[in-house]
Chains A and B, each alone.
Chain A
Amino acid sequence: MTLYKGYEMVIGLEVHVELKTKTKIFCSCPTTFGAEPNTQCCPVCMGYPGTLPVLNKRVVEYAVKAGLATNCTIANYSKQDRKNYFYPDLPKAYRISQYDLPLCEHGWLDVETEEGSKRIGITRIHIEEDAGKLVHDEKHGTMIDCNRCGVPLIEIVSEPDIRSAEEAKAYLQKLRAIILYTGVSDCKMQEGSLRCDVNLSVRKAGETKFGIRTEMKNLNSFQFIVKAIEYEYKRQVDAIEAGEAIVQETRRFDPATGKTYTMRSKENANDYRYFPDPDLPPIELTDAAIKALGAEIPELPDVRKKAYMEKYGLTAYDGEVLTSDKAMADYFEAAAATTAHPKLAANLLISEFMRLIEGESFACPVSAAHLGELATLVGDDVINSSTAKKLIKDMFETDASPKALVAERGLAQINDEVLLGKLVAEAVAASPKSVADYKKGKLAAAKSIVGIVMGKTAGKGNPVIINRLLEAELAKY
């Protein structure tokens, strides 16, 4: 990790994930995203006088699953508290959340970065209700859409264990992957079903005390998170170096400028006056109930990753990438089952397919069987890798069978040693300068000769055979 002016960054993340229960946390309104404003609300979620909240049991079940999947201890006894503050998107003027007795605590997850594997602690996961949405309009001013009021959320708070933007990104990707596996949220950042607040401070490398932190709220893409972290890190270091004090405050990241700006300082911060919500009895869970929920969680990414490393000889990093999205891992496994060359399938998927796949969640126009077929063609020396790359483009357009394409276009690799030997001999004879360079020790000079042979075979020559024959031919000089 590179340090800026000798300072390291210390990051803790607060991630809000909307749970995809059918109904809201305290009433039976639907949670569907994108409905007409104020069509999915009732007196309860709009906080009308006299209404009362009743906890949706599913919310607890989903939160417990998220907790178990992130190695948390699940509380047998937890409670819900009111977080009091005034804002027009909050109809009751308090948000029902959890304060001192959250549902899940003391978890962790392992992330892979290019610097290796690292364990990031999870302080707690608690349940709470979402607020509504303010819609600003020049003609009508500010309007309130209550559809989102009472949509269930979990807030996942990490320990301040993260030391780089890359780690922050890896943590979020891993967290997202795990939650997608458990099926409790669809984690769509663009729709706001996964939102992230970044707490960041800096300190001289080697220092054990934490610096003063700032909080950047509601960052809604991985790209913005990385940019915001990088900017804020340097801003804080430069400020300290210039002799300025860091102020504990909430800052806003502006994607247009790539900078962060003060939103409100601690002096203006709310005193939320948390207290136990008297309308809601405590949440009590038996060990048996927790265990039963654990049994419903499917195989998690780390288990799959380990299996890929052992069974297919993949690297930890590749295993992490493939399992970061359940759909991608499922796809890979389906492809791997059809070929004797699963590692090649993994490489093609990660380095070639992923460049062509866009969007937050994995969806590939090429069938898994065709990826397997392509890996087999390469692995069995039927085609070389540059031919494979050319085929992938067509496969993405029509999901054509690569085997059929090879036959149709005569793209099969030329493995005929007699033919290749003749072409190599001709090329060597025609390149006296390269031969002389090679003999002087410039081994790279051989590459241009390989290029000539490849050109003659229209790119279809087997590079391994060509290289071997060329080495033998050059030895004659």
Chain B
Amino acid sequence: MSDLLKLGLAEAAELLAARKVSSAELTKAYIASIEKNEPRVGAYISTDARRALDMAIAVDRRLAAGETLSPLAGIPAGIKDNICTKGVATTCASKMLESYIPPYDAHVIERLFDAGFVMLGKLNMDEFAMGSTTENSAMKKTRNPLDLTRVPGGSSGGSAAAVAAYEAAYTLGSDTGGSIRQPAAFCGVVGMKPTYGTVSRYGLVAFASSLDQIGPLTHTVRDNALVLNAIAGHDKRDATSIDRVYGDFGAEIGKGVKGIVIGIPKEFFGEGISSDVKKAVLDAAARYEKMGATLMEVSMPAIDHALAAYYVISSAEASSNLARFDGVRYGYRTEEFADIAELYKKSRSEGFGAEVKRRIMLGTFALSSGYYDAYYKKALQVRALVRADYDRVLEQCDVILSPVAPTVAYKLGEKSQNPLEMYMGDAYSVPVNVAGIPALALPCGVGEGGMPVGLQLMGKPFSEALLYRVGAALEDDMGGKQA
């Protein structure tokens, strides 16, 4: 493997700024890595080496002209295929949007262009971000680079696998109910789900609007903060984007955890957790204690209901958000139809996969006249309780520690026939989205089959800098980059 691939983002940025390495060289190294690894891993839905090199050369020119660019300038990235890229197909891994080319760039893409963007390609995912293994992609199969018989997790499976396989220096994913953190955990990389409203959703194809957030996947905590610096910030095109000035998210890294109070909620260690995961996570907690943090057992009773509320709310919103894919204006349209009703019915039946249809039906039902109060309204009430639980506990402690998922990465096909079991795997990651708070996933050891175990650090809204600080302390204590 080329040494260039092993560079952290900060190191690469330094070399680029000093003109010791060019973006073109770096990009070529990643293109070579993609060529080598992609046949086994399958992280990308589309790549374009020519375009990536052109982008790299453009950044090199800007650097040569003496422009001061962001630390990300010229560092090649991969983008989840539900983030709109002008002129580049954005499929959401669905037959429905197989040929869809957005006429505009998402806000995060504009921000990366400002920073000096080099895009290697668009990454595989579960169709419309619905799933936890990337097996719901209508495009291709993605394998876990650490064990090719296992899934990379999902829905941002391509984003996690590409980082783990050195097929991108960093990637962007989206997290509606764990879709950044769980694949990060399965592939042994670092993923951040920022506070709702920190990163603009403009240009992210909506799954569940009140839960969706874009976030970075990287090899290290420090790298992750650098990427978040580039994409966070107010955008007036997203009415849920928070008008706030963010400092350097990495500013607190290196301050250690002395005096930090870490809450350990028993609800995240109960029934269903595998012993290897439990052990690795509690070992990490013990390390924190050794480093000077205080551990505190806490209880969050509403968490037990968060998963059910999540599936009602996210499916309800999805049923409305995905209604626009009707075969009329863009995307998949059925071949033959007698009238408009049949055009809708056939286009949607043929264009969507099974899981997407399942969620649309679930959500449509939950919003139906006569059922709204029992399902959607009830779910919103649970949501308020979950938030209240986090508010209360985060008054007592600085961060909350838990596993990202109850097990290590599943075997391919292991869960794909049992949606309910698959949903249960999201129980630890989902509450964070329901509450709108930030959470960082980072590797904390290994479990069954030598697979990485992911640790989840949750905090108050806008506590990303603290989460990075606490995460980096563990990373350093364990000897740096894990994967």
- A residues near B (Cβ < 8 Å) are 43, 46-55, 82, 84, 86, 88, 91-94, 144, 271, 273-275, 278-281
CB-based A-B contact count at 8 angstroms: 97
User: Besides the contacts A49-B97, A54-B239, what 14 more A-B pairs have beta carbons closer than 8 Å?
Assistant: A48-B330, A49-B206, A50-B102, A50-B202, A50-B206, A86-B326, A88-B328, A88-B340, A93-B324, A271-B369, A273-B364, A273-B372, A274-B367, A275-B376
B176 to chain A, nearest CB (A): 12
A95 to chain B, nearest CB (A): 11
Q: How large is the interface on B (under 10, 10 to 19, 20 to 34, 35 or more residues)?
A: 35 or more
Q: Mark B225-246, 1 if CB is under 8 A from A, else 0.
A: 0000000000011111000000
Q: Is B84 an interface residue (CB 8 A)?
A: yes
Q: Is B317 an interface residue (CB 8 A)?
A: yes
| Measured CA separation A46–B202 after assembly (Å) | 15
A140 to chain B, nearest CB (A): 15
| Measured CA separation A94–B319 after assembly (Å) | 11
Q: Given that A84-B320, A88-B340, A91-B324 are known contacts, is A279 also in contact with B100, CB under 8 Å in the complex? A: no
A154 to chain B, nearest CB (A): 20
Query: Which of A48, A144, A279 interacts with B209 by CB under 8 Å?
Result: A279
Q: Is B454 an interface residue (CB 8 A)?
A: no
Chain B residues lying within 8 Å of A274, measured Cβ to Cβ, are 367
Q: Given that A49-B90, A54-B236, A54-B237 are known contacts, is A43 also in contact with B320, CB under 8 Å in the complex? A: no
Chain A residues lying within 8 Å of B237, measured Cβ to Cβ, are 52, 54
Chain B residues lying within 8 Å of A49, measured Cβ to Cβ, are 84, 90, 92, 97, 100, 102, 205-206, 324-325
B133 to chain A, nearest CB (A): 23
A330 to chain B, nearest CB (A): 40
The residue of chain A having its C-beta at the shortest distance from the C-beta of B96 within the complex is: A49
Q: Is B294 an interface residue (CB 8 A)?
A: no
- A273 lies within 8 A of B320 (CB): yes
Query: Which of B104, B202, B206, B368 interacts with A271 by CB under 8 Å?
Result: B368
B89 to chain A, nearest CB (A): 12
| Measured CA separation A48–B206 after assembly (Å) | 11
- B201 lies within 8 A of A52 (CB): yes
Cβ < 8 Å to A, chain B residues 362-385: 364, 367-369, 372, 376
The residue of chain B having its C-beta at the shortest distance from the C-beta of A54 within the complex is: B239
Chain A residues lying within 8 Å of B444, measured Cβ to Cβ, are none
The residue of chain A having its C-beta at the shortest distance from the C-beta of B106 within the complex is: A50
Chain A residues lying within 8 Å of B210, measured Cβ to Cβ, are 278
| Measured CA separation A84–B317 after assembly (Å) | 11
- B236 lies within 8 A of A50 (CB): no
Chain B residues lying within 8 Å of A54, measured Cβ to Cβ, are 236-239
Chain A residues lying within 8 Å of B340, measured Cβ to Cβ, are 88
Query: Which of B92, B206, B367 interacts with A275 by CB under 8 Å?
Result: B367
| Measured CA separation A278–B321 after assembly (Å) | 10
| Measured CA separation A43–B84 after assembly (Å) | 12
Chain B residues lying within 8 Å of A271, measured Cβ to Cβ, are 368-369
A57 to chain B, nearest CB (A): 11
- A43 lies within 8 A of B103 (CB): yes
A84 to chain B, nearest CB (A): 5
Q: Is B203 an interface residue (CB 8 A)?
A: yes
Query: Which of B203, B317, B326 interacts with A50 by CB under 8 Å?
Result: B203
Chain A residues lying within 8 Å of B311, measured Cβ to Cβ, are none
The residue of chain B having its C-beta at the shortest distance from the C-beta of A281 within the complex is: B239
* Chain B contact surface mostly: loop
Query: Which of B97, B325, B369 interacts with A273 by CB under 8 Å?
Result: B369
What are 6 sample pairs from A and B whose C-beta atoms fall under 8 A apart?
Answer: A47-B324, A50-B106, A91-B328, A92-B324, A93-B326, A274-B367
| Measured CA separation A271–B370 after assembly (Å) | 10
Most buried by B among A49, A52, A86, A273: A49
Chain B residues lying within 8 Å of A47, measured Cβ to Cβ, are 324
Chain B residues lying within 8 Å of A92, measured Cβ to Cβ, are 323-324
- B204 lies within 8 A of A50 (CB): yes
Q: Mark B96-112, 1 if CB is under 8 A from A, else 0.
A: 01001011101000000
B2 to chain A, nearest CB (A): 35
Query: Which of B100, B239, B323 interacts with A86 by CB under 8 Å?
Result: B323
Chain A residues lying within 8 Å of B316, measured Cβ to Cβ, are 275
Chain A residues lying within 8 Å of B20, measured Cβ to Cβ, are none
| Measured CA separation A93–B372 after assembly (Å) | 19
Cβ < 8 Å to A, chain B residues 4-42: none
Q: Mark B117-145, 1 if CB is under 8 A from A, else 0.
A: 00000000000000000000000000000
Q: Given that A49-B324, A88-B340 are known contacts, is A278 also in contact with B209, CB under 8 Å in the complex? A: yes
- B239 lies within 8 A of A52 (CB): yes
Q: Is B344 an interface residue (CB 8 A)?
A: yes
Chain A residues lying within 8 Å of B100, measured Cβ to Cβ, are 49
| Measured CA separation A92–B319 after assembly (Å) | 12
Chain A residues lying within 8 Å of B92, measured Cβ to Cβ, are 49
- A84 lies within 8 A of B84 (CB): no
Chain B residues lying within 8 Å of A48, measured Cβ to Cβ, are 102-104, 330
Chain A residues lying within 8 Å of B323, measured Cβ to Cβ, are 84, 86, 92-94
| Measured CA separation A311–B67 after assembly (Å) | 75
The residue of chain A having its C-beta at the shortest distance from the C-beta of B211 within the complex is: A278
| Measured CA separation A37–B320 after assembly (Å) | 27
B120 to chain A, nearest CB (A): 21
Chain A residues lying within 8 Å of B369, measured Cβ to Cβ, are 271, 273
Most buried by B among A50, A51, A278: A50
Query: Which of A52, A86, A91, A144 interacts with B202 by CB under 8 Å?
Result: A52
Query: Which of A46, A55, A82, A279 interacts with B329 by CB under 8 Å?
Result: A46
A170 to chain B, nearest CB (A): 36
- A86 lies within 8 A of B344 (CB): yes
B361 to chain A, nearest CB (A): 12
Q: Which 3 pairs show the lowest CB-CB distances between chains A and B?
A: A93-B323, A278-B210, A273-B367
Query: Which of A46, A55, A275 interacts with B320 by CB under 8 Å?
Result: A275
- B368 lies within 8 A of A273 (CB): yes
- B102 lies within 8 A of A94 (CB): no
Chain A residues lying within 8 Å of B236, measured Cβ to Cβ, are 54
Cβ < 8 Å to A, chain B residues 288-344: 316-317, 319-320, 323-326, 328-330, 340, 344
- A91 lies within 8 A of B205 (CB): no
| Measured CA separation A49–B99 after assembly (Å) | 13
| Measured CA separation A280–B205 after assembly (Å) | 16
A445 to chain B, nearest CB (A): 75
B359 to chain A, nearest CB (A): 15
B394 to chain A, nearest CB (A): 23
- A53 lies within 8 A of B239 (CB): yes
| Measured CA separation A273–B320 after assembly (Å) | 9
| Measured CA separation A265–B165 after assembly (Å) | 59
The residue of chain A having its C-beta at the shortest distance from the C-beta of B364 within the complex is: A273
- A82 lies within 8 A of B368 (CB): no
| Measured CA separation A88–B135 after assembly (Å) | 33
Chain A residues lying within 8 Å of B344, measured Cβ to Cβ, are 86
| Measured CA separation A126–B104 after assembly (Å) | 32
Chain B residues lying within 8 Å of A280, measured Cβ to Cβ, are 239
Most buried by A among B210, B325, B326, B344: B326
- A279 lies within 8 A of B367 (CB): no
Q: Given that A49-B90, A52-B201, A84-B320 are known contacts, is A279 also in contact with B240, CB under 8 Å in the complex? A: yes
Chain B residues lying within 8 Å of A93, measured Cβ to Cβ, are 320, 323-324, 326
B107 to chain A, nearest CB (A): 10
Q: Mark B200-226, 1 if CB is under 8 A from A, else 0.
A: 011111101110000000000000000
| Measured CA separation A275–B90 after assembly (Å) | 28
Chain A residues lying within 8 Å of B102, measured Cβ to Cβ, are 43, 48-50
The residue of chain B having its C-beta at the shortest distance from the C-beta of A49 within the complex is: B205
- A279 lies within 8 A of B90 (CB): no
The residue of chain A having its C-beta at the shortest distance from the C-beta of B238 within the complex is: A52
The residue of chain B having its C-beta at the shortest distance from the C-beta of A27 within the complex is: B237
Q: Given that A273-B368, A275-B320, A275-B372 are known contacts, is A281 also in contact with B204, CB under 8 Å in the complex? A: no
A305 to chain B, nearest CB (A): 42
Chain B residues lying within 8 Å of A281, measured Cβ to Cβ, are 239-240
The residue of chain A having its C-beta at the shortest distance from the C-beta of B210 within the complex is: A278
A94 to chain B, nearest CB (A): 5
| Measured CA separation A460–B201 after assembly (Å) | 80
Chain B residues lying within 8 Å of A84, measured Cβ to Cβ, are 319-320, 323, 367
